Structure 1
Amino acid sequence: MRDSRPPRAPRRTRPGTFSRQPGRALFDEEASRVRFPLFEPPSHYETRRAMRIRSAFVLLACVSACASRSGAGPESSTAMPTASVSAADADYVVLAREYLDWYAAAHPTRATRLGYHMHDAHLPDVSSGALKRKAEALRGWLTRLEQVVARGGLSGDAAVDVRVLENAMRADLLELEEVRPWERDPGFYVGIISSGLDGLSSREFAPVAERMRAMRSRMARIPGVLDAAQFNLSGVPKLWAEYALRDARGTAAYLRTDLPRALAAQGYAQVPLSERAAFSAAREEAARQMEAFAVWLERELLPKADGDFRLGRERFEKKLALEEHVTLDADALRDINERAIRDYKAWVAREAARLDATKTPEQVMAELVKDHPKAEELVASARAQLVELQRFVRERNILTLPSDRLPVVRETPPYARLGFASMDTPGPFETKATEAFYNITNVEPGWTPEQKAQHLTYFNRAGLLGITVHEAMPGHFVQLLYGARIPTDVRKVFTPASLVEGWAHYSEQMMVDEGLGNGDPAVRLGQLRRALQRHARWYAALALHVYGEPVEAVAKRYAEIAYFEPFPALREVERGTLDPTYLYYAVGRMQIFKLRDDYRRHLESRGKTLVLKDFHDRLLQIGLPVSLAREVFLPGDTAPSLE
């Protein structure tokens, strides 16, 4: 096993830790968070009480089986509960099931994305009264959970999951009461609508006529969402108002153009004429509503938008601790990141000199991105890489592949072409539309030759290889394959981005360490450039939200760190104003490498050797935040997950 990571800097003493759109099972390398499905959806004819009884019974069986193996094994049990299950475990299982039921009802657009279809006809109630009731409900859930914990006796998976669930509840409450996107971000409302409709149109989990009826129901609820926006919004940052204006116009265009185009390929013409007419009328009215909202944003909100996007130190550290289970303070995080940037820059210089010692690293990088497939070869190149990566994973024993399945490699659909590449997966509990799509955004016909050439530089051959590793093999697609093995629903729902994106980003470096590219410095440089991009995000998150640096200065430094041109660097930093914890890519990668190193030393102290395949299999099957996974790999260990 090769490990060519940069040398560790001397250890320093450290002080004493919503995405804007409702979640979907989409991994977007450039822009989005990740959400996993809730739990196996019941048939539509089942009553909620029957569902709760059945689900609690199944979960109780899992707790019984898992308690005997201390949460370490991958298999879920189908055995009946036994007398060894404590009363506390049983109480926790019932509470967790009831909370997940409530959560799905409170987040219907996310529930759709996650494969739970009982709420497909609804949008969330975001009126001020409903938001207050939601906060009160969350406090009630926390009280119940604290009572279960206080009684003691939790064991096995329940003893670990209770901490995941508590953090999730507290993170939701923090979002409502302190971060307050419903008050500060008009894109919060646009995202509810666009995600709610796209979630019903992009996957054929039900006949098109049935999904059209659900869309009509959601369209009828759009005025309520937009009325709530106009009532709730105040202190909006100007940049966020500008983004929301663009998104509102884009949603109107989606309703008029992209949505009918998507449905046309799904049997729309076979739907009865009366239903098509009703749907078209509802779609046109929804587009008109979005256009009217865009006018309100432009004429009323934008001229008065003078709010501050910054979270501030306290809220930033709280948010990171609750969402990502990372409890280091901002100053410690800054020190860790600065050391990592120095190490990676030195590594870049060494690899660049191997290619051409007469040029600067920046010049070498600029030459590398010119080597890319032609536009007409792009999808085929990614498809060929995917097959080769699957072979490499097997031959090098990187991990166990649970299936021979591969995602469908395709051009990104016309209605979703904002990012460069993405992995669109079903949740592990989606029973119908179970295909996965590796989307590659090709050039647009109307672009100039220069624009096309610039776009294709992102898919330079080393870069495309890293993208395919990250999105598919063994990155996000393999995570999908392992999803069914994660032992509890709570972990599947509340998987942190630092594990999901951290695993995919870790995979980029690990695969080159294990021989991908056969030592070609161009392949290593492609991986290092992408690592520095993630550390530039880490820098930007802290600079923007904790240290109060201006956007323009942060963008300049971002470009220096990541070898970016000024315009894409600015766009990346603007994203950071909306996604303050987008340091989770590099944080997660570093946590996994540290866990691996610590576990290797633990094994060696007992005369054993770390087997990389076993480590990877176990990490993916556990499905825990890395800080909690450490307790499974290293019982009794108190070392930090990141330093």
Structure 2
Amino acid sequence: MRSTIPALALLLGLSACDQQATDSTRPQQAQAPTSVETSAATLQTFEQLREQFVNELWQLFPSWAVREGYYKVADQLQVPDDAYRQRVLDFATTYSRKFANLDSSRLDANASSDLALIQNFLSRIQWQLKTFKSYQWNPADYNVSHAFALILNTDYAPLDERLRTFSKRMAKVPAYYDAAEKSLRTPASPQLVLAVEQNEGALSVFGEELKQKLAQSGLSDDEKKEFTQRLQDARQAIEEYVTFLQTKHTDLEKTQKYKDFRIGEKLYEEKFKYDIQIGMTAKELYERALEEKAKLHEKMAELADKLWPKYFPEKQQPQDKLDRISAVLEKLSEHHATKETFKAEVEKQIPELAAFVTEHDLLTLDEDKPLVVRTTPPYMRGFAVASINAPGPYDKDANTYYNVMPIEDFPDDRAESLLREYNSYLMQILNIHEAIPGHYTQLVYANKSPSLIKSILGNGAMIEGWAVYTERMMLEAGYGDFSPELWLMYYKWNLRTVTNTILDYEIQVKGIDEERAMELMVRDAFQQQAEAMGKWRRATLSQVQLTSYFAGYADILALREEMKQKLGEKFNLKEFHEKFLSYGNSPVPVIRELMLAELDGQ
């Protein structure tokens, strides 16, 4: 495993020989700075530059700032036109140059890793704007609703103050969507459909609940009048954008001249490098996933053979191992919640997981950080069955939301398929992944990290990898009493993680079609039809992100084994977990370097 911390060229000639006059009558020359002094000076320069970088970052990206709990810029809304993109590009190139002038060898491990994350982020921005250019073909990039919803529903300030912020921000919504329409050229079809759905959902943020809060507020009559006009203009802008997209969709359907949602090998490898940061190529990870898939099939076949007499005492086993595995999984999948009780069952399991983690001393949990299970808001639907929205480091005490898709609203056949997928066994793995000790727990720890950079420049492979790692860790610790049924379902879930990597690479690089993708998920990975259809859609909407689960998980597992070997009897699982999480959302190779550096120091 290679470190992601770059070795920068020495650009500052700060060392000098220590020369003193031998003649006592001659004035003594000033002593050159020692290495300790130059390191301190470099660190101070870096810290000042890092602070400037963060301050300018939030001025450029106020919507992102709001998501991180930084509300000083909440009344601002960036208008995504050419001038704005040039400002972002200038920011990235200027700070790339400034940070490149620092000698990372004179920084401590924490500062050096911060520098590496910043440099990757700045390089990624330049690549996005100059090469990837999703702003020209992904209309789902344009949606104002999330930050508005946070301003409205987060009690960071009195309601009247938040409504005034909301109003000022809302004044720019028409210009925002006008710029979006002008920025788009030929969209990709899946992104076009998603953009229509989510922007139609965005109207709910600007609906009746908002009007009621305005009516009950202490705003003056003039303020309410201005707010109401801006609200009308904002809704009209969103509706016109939706109509614009629908018209474009109709026109492109006739000619089938959509932009291909597949980005190809070159762009995929470049995006993988910036997004995943694990020290291997996308192709190498793909090949590793193929090997892991074969191993999981063998483990699942062994468990299916063990369970077969229990569930099919009068039936002969099929010769094909995939058929045997599938039959047992289908039988176990009959145990599931109803579509009306699914969300309640999710909520019910959270305290049970917390109790297990505490009882088995796996992690220290912060009971004061609220977790709210809710139905996925309309403007966020169409991407995943479940997800987490966590507060950022500037507003650590705000709610974390566990979003659950409204399965109760689905047709019976689709609901039944999803419920069989997220059956009573897999629901437990899902809750471990999304909540405790997965995403929710990890993001609470991330907000406590002393490094703001490591929290805000989060690495998706570490975040998703941790959630996947905890699934296995919990079962290894005895969750589920080592039930072979739960372990078989866990392997199915873990196979999904591995298949995500295979699926994403084969769609985006190898160009497989929907039929082959469905075969891969349903036949080879035992997924229900509804889940597989949803994943196909997701894989057409994003690139690389689906590889983050396996990439991060494999690295974390390898790091745990490495630390076990180095520490021997001194290894403590809880200490490993808490030390690992203390570094925020850093890439796993960066965390490895920091943990090894600390171990060497001890």
TM surpasses 0.5: yes
Question: Match of 1:600, as an amino acid?
Answer: K
**Are positions 1:397 and 2:361 aligned together?**
yes
Q: Give secondary structure in 1 for the equivalent of 2:106.
A: coil
Q: Deviations over 1:563-620 (max 9, x none)?
A: 223443233122223321121011111110011112212223xxx4421111111100
2:394 matched residue in structure 1: 429
1:349 matched residue in structure 2: 301
Give the fraction of aligned pairs with identical amino acids, expressed as a percent. Answer: 24
1:617 matched residue in structure 2: 578
Mapped partners of 2:287, 2:109: distance in 1: 36
Mapped partners of 2:406, 2:190: distance in 1: 28
The alpha-carbon deviation at position 517 of structure 1 amounts to: 0.5
Mapped partners of 1:440, 1:296: distance in 2: 30
The alpha-carbon deviation at position 384 of structure 1 amounts to: 3.7
Mapped partners of 1:410, 1:244: distance in 2: 22
Q: Deviations over 1:54-113 (max 9, x none)?
A: xxxxxxxxxxxxxxxxxxxxxxxxxxxx97961111111111111111111111111111
Mapped partners of 1:176, 1:612: distance in 2: 43
Contact 1:209–1:268 at 8 Å: present in 2 too? no
Mapped partners of 2:377, 2:200: distance in 1: 19
Contact 2:418–2:531 at 8 Å: present in 1 too? no
Q: Give secondary structure in 1 for the equivalent of 2:561.
A: helix
Question: Match of 1:330, as an amino acid?
Answer: A
Q: Give secondary structure in 2 for the equivalent of 1:115.
A: coil
Mapped partners of 1:279, 1:458: distance in 2: 45
Mapped partners of 1:308, 1:375: distance in 2: 36
Q: Deviations over 1:104-149 (max 9, x none)?
A: 1111111111100111112223111221232122111100000013
Alignment match of 1:501 (pick from 447, 460, 464): 464
Alignment match of 1:242 (pick from 185, 193, 210): 193
The alpha-carbon deviation at position 302 of structure 1 amounts to: 4.9
Question: Match of 2:75, as an amino acid?
Answer: A
Alignment match of 1:386 (pick from 345, 350, 373): 350
Alignment match of 2:216 (pick from 269, 278, 292): 269
Question: Match of 1:578, as an amino acid?
Answer: L
Residues 279 and 564 from structure 1, CA distance in 2 versus in 1: closer, same or farther, beyond 3 angstroms? farther
Which deviates further from its counterpart, 173-182 or 568-577?
568-577
5+ unaligned residues in a row in structure 1: which ranges? 1-13, 18-81, 638-643
Q: Give secondary structure in 2 for the equivalent of 1:148.
A: coil
The alpha-carbon deviation at position 505 of structure 1 amounts to: 1.0
1:595 matched residue in structure 2: 559
The alpha-carbon deviation at position 422 of structure 1 amounts to: 2.8
Q: Considering only aligned residues, what root-mean-square deviation do their CA atoms show, in Å?
A: 2.8
Contact 1:428–1:480 at 8 Å: present in 2 too? no
Mapped partners of 2:359, 2:433: distance in 1: 19
**Are positions 1:216 and 2:167 aligned together?**
yes
Mapped partners of 2:123, 2:173: distance in 1: 28
1:633 matched residue in structure 2: 595
Contact 1:551–1:574 at 8 Å: present in 2 too? no
1:135 matched residue in structure 2: 89
Q: Which structure carries more relative contact order (alpha carbon 8 Å, separation 6+)? A: 1
Which deviates further from its counterpart, 569-578 or 266-275?
266-275
**Are positions 1:168 and 2:121 aligned together?**
yes
Instruction: List aligned pairs for 1:95-114, cutoff 5 A.
Output: 95-114=49-68
Residues 480 and 329 from structure 1, CA distance in 2 versus in 1: closer, same or farther, beyond 3 angstroms? closer
1:55 matched residue in structure 2: none
Residues 375 and 234 from structure 1, CA distance in 2 versus in 1: closer, same or farther, beyond 3 angstroms? closer
5+ unaligned residues in a row in structure 2: which ranges? 5-35, 318-323
The alpha-carbon deviation at position 442 of structure 1 amounts to: 4.6
The alpha-carbon deviation at position 276 of structure 1 amounts to: 4.5
Question: Match of 1:544, as an amino acid?
Answer: I
**Are positions 1:298 and 2:260 aligned together?**
no
The alpha-carbon deviation at position 558 of structure 1 amounts to: 2.8
2:28 matched residue in structure 1: none
1:574 matched residue in structure 2: 537
1:91 matched residue in structure 2: 45
Question: Match of 2:587, as an amino acid?
Answer: P
**Are positions 1:201 and 2:164 aligned together?**
no
Alignment match of 1:368 (pick from 315, 332, 338): 332
Aligned length: 547
**Are positions 1:281 and 2:229 aligned together?**
yes
Contact 1:109–1:199 at 8 Å: present in 2 too? no
1:524 matched residue in structure 2: 487
Q: Deviations over 1:302-361 (max 9, x none)?
A: 524521222222222222222221232233122101011111122222222332255621
- TM, length-normalised to structure 2: 0.84
Q: Deviations over 1:226-259 (max 9, x none)?
A: 222222222322222222223333323x2454xx
The alpha-carbon deviation at position 373 of structure 1 amounts to: 3.0
Question: Match of 1:487, as an amino acid?
Answer: P
Which deviates further from its counterpart, 332-341 or 199-208?
199-208
Mapped partners of 1:351, 1:428: distance in 2: 43
**Are positions 1:318 and 2:248 aligned together?**
no
Contact 1:552–1:570 at 8 Å: present in 2 too? no
Mapped partners of 2:70, 2:529: distance in 1: 42
Which deviates further from its counterpart, 235-244 or 154-163?
235-244
**Are positions 1:309 and 2:261 aligned together?**
yes
Residues 469 and 267 from structure 1, CA distance in 2 versus in 1: closer, same or farther, beyond 3 angstroms? farther
Contact 1:208–1:263 at 8 Å: present in 2 too? no
Which one has a bigger Cα radius of gyration?
2
Mapped partners of 1:452, 1:143: distance in 2: 53
The alpha-carbon deviation at position 159 of structure 1 amounts to: 1.8
**Are positions 1:460 and 2:423 aligned together?**
yes
Mapped partners of 1:440, 1:618: distance in 2: 30
The alpha-carbon deviation at position 537 of structure 1 amounts to: 1.5
